[in-house]
Amino acid sequence: MRLVLDSDPQILTVRRYAPGEIDVAGQLIRAPCILSAARLITEWPVLSAAALDANAMAPLLALHPSLVLIGSDAADARVSGVLRRALESRGVALEVMSLGAACRTYNVLAQERREVVAGLFP
């Protein structure tokens, strides 16, 4: 699906997504990535949302978000209660949703200049 927004060109957004890939600022990505308004990290060695743990979340948290979105269409896309509570104790909200929903939500929140980081699994 192609996403069209009146957007600030300085903010990285998802231009479109499809099964197995996302387009961020003209770069086609087919592997898990981390996205914030100012950074795209394509070297994120996590295979699935189900594999997320504190170590895997460290690069997202290094970007100082108040909200982390995890986007995956995998049936096992969920995080442990322990990880969720660890993030909440740091004042970071966590939402897990489909890839499309995460891309759309990220774009809106980033354009609102919210402190959002997305971990996306195309």
Summarize pLDDT for 83-114 with one digit per residue, the tens.
999 999 999 999 999 999 999 999 999 999 99
User: Does the residue 6 lie in any domain?
Assistant: no
Considering only CA atoms, which of 25, 40, 19, 2 is closest in space to residue 121?
19
Total domains in the fold of the chain: 1
- pLDDT band for 9, please (50, 70, 90 cuts): confident
pTM for this one? 0.90
Residue 5 lies in a domain: no
For 94, the token pair is 């966590």
Quick check: is 19 in a domain? yes
Collapse the DSSP code of 18 into the 3-class scheme (helix H, G, I; strand E, B; otherwise coil) and give the result: strand
Kindly report, residue by residue over 64-87, the tens digit of the pLDDT.
999 999 999 887 778 888 899 999
Asked whether residue 40 is assigned to any structural domain, the reply reads yes
**What is the spatial distance between Cα 83 and Cα 102, in angstroms, rounded to a whole number?**
19
pLDDT of 121 higher than 80 = yes
